[in-house]
Amino acid sequence: MTEANKTLRLTQVKGTAGRPADQCKTLKALGLGRIGKTIDQVDNESIRGMIFKVKHLITVEEI
C-alpha cells in the first residue's frame, strides 16, 4: 500500500466538556464533535499532528 492510499479511521470516545477550546476546535477540524462519531481521514502529517493533540479523546485505526 502506498503512502497516498493510507486512511485512518477516527472515533471520538470522550467528550469535550472541561477541555481547552483549542482541543474542541481540533476535533471539529477533524470532522468530529460527538461521542461515538466515526470518520475516515487521509493519513498525512497535518492530520497526524491534530490526532496527537487530541489523542486522549479519540481512537485511531489504520484501514
CATH number, domain at 31? 3.30.1390.20
**φ/ψ of residue 21, rounded to 5:** -60, -35
Residue 3 has pLDDT above 70, yes or no: no
The Cα diameter of the chain in Å comes to 40
Rounded to whole angstroms, how far apart are CA atoms 2 and 56? 28
Kindly report the pTM of this predicted structure: 0.87
pLDDT band at 4; cut points 50, 70, 90: low
Residue 19 has pLDDT above 70, yes or no: yes
* Domain membership of residue 46 as a residue range: 3-62
Number of domains in the chain: 1
